[in-house]
Amino acid sequence: MSITVSDVSRRFGNTTALHPLSLEIKKGEMVGLLGPSGSGKTTLLRIIAGLEAPDSGSIHFGDRDVTHVHVRKRRVGFVFQHYALFRHMSVFENVAFGLRARPTSERPSNAEIRDRVQHLLERVRLDALAKRLPSQLSGGQQQRVALARALAVEPEVLLLDEPFGALDARVRLELRRWLRHLHEEFGFTSVFVTHDQEEALELSDRVVVMSNGKIEQIDTPQALYRAPANRFVFSFLGETNRFGGEYREGKLQQGNAWIAMAHSDIAPNEVLLRPHELMLTTAPDAKAHLPVTVDAVSPVGSDVRVELTADWMDTPWLASITHHDFDRLQPARGANFYLVPSRWHQFAPETS
Ligand SMILES: Nc1ncnc2c1ncn2[C@@H]1O[C@H](COP(=O)(O)OP(=O)(O)OP(=O)(O)O)[C@@H](O)[C@H]1O
Q: pLDDT class for 123, splitting at 50, 70, 90?
A: confident
Return the best residue to mutate from 33, 41, 44, 193 for the ligand 1 pocket (most ligand atoms within 8 A of CB). 41
Q: How far apart are CA 234 and CA 77, in angstroms?
A: 32
Ligand 1 centroid to residue 43 C-alpha, Å: 6
Residue ranges matching CATH 3.40.50.300 in the chain: 3-236
What's the pTM? 0.88
Residue 211 in contact with ligand 1 by CB distance below 6 A: no
Assigned CATH topology for domain 241-341: OB fold (Dihydrolipoamide Acetyltransferase, E2P) (2.40.50)
The alpha carbon of 351 and the centre of ligand 1 are apart by a number of angstroms equal to: 21
Choose the residue to mutate in 42, 194, 199 for probing ligand 1, maximizing ligand atoms within 8 Å of C-beta: 42
CATH topology of domain 3-236: Rossmann fold (3.40.50)
Q: Strand, coil or helix: what is 177?
A: helix
Q: 53 in ligand 1 pocket by Cβ < 6 Å?
A: no
- Cβ(35) – ligand 1 distance below 6 Å: yes
Residue 127 Cα to ligand 1 midpoint, Å, equals 37
Q: Is 46 in the pocket of ligand 1 (CB under 6 A)?
A: no
- The reply to whether ligand 1 has any atom less than 6 angstroms from the CB of 141 is no
The pLDDT-based confidence of 30 (bands split at 50, 70, 90) is very high
**pLDDT (tens digit per residue) in 190-235:** 999 998 898 999 999 999 999 999 999 999 999 998 899 999 999 9
DSSP string, 88-135: TS-HHHHHHHHHHTS-GGGPPPHHHHHHHHHHHHHHTT-GGGTTS-GG
Ligand 1 mean position to 220 CA, how many Å? 25
DSSP state of 267: -
Q: What is the DSSP string of 47-79?
A: HHHTSS--SEEEEEETTEE-TTS-GGGS-EEEE
Cα 134 to ligand 1 centre (Å): 29
- Looking at residue 10, its pLDDT comes to 98
User: Residues spanned by CATH 2.40.50.100 within the chain?
Assistant: 241-341
ipTM of the complex model: 0.96
Residue owning the nearest CA to atom 5 of ligand 1: 12
Atom of ligand 1 minimally distant from the CA of 10: 12
At 301-352, the pLDDT tens digits run 899 999 999 999 999 999 999 999 999 999 999 999 999 999 999 999 887 5
Cα-only R_g, the chain: 25
Nearest CA to ligand 1 atom 1: 12
What's the confidence (pLDDT) of residue 242? 97
122 CA → ligand 1 middle, Å: 37
Nearest CA to ligand 1 atom 29: 38
Give residue 72's pLDDT: 82
Assess whether pLDDT exceeds 70 at residue 266: yes
- Tens-digit pLDDT profile for residues 167-176: 788 888 888 8
CA angle centred on 37, ends 243 and 318, rounded to 5°: 30
Given pLDDT bands bounded at 50, 70 and 90, which one contains residue 82? low
Structural element, H or E, at residue 176: helix 169-186
pLDDT digits (tens, 9 = 90+) for 51-60: 999 999 999 9
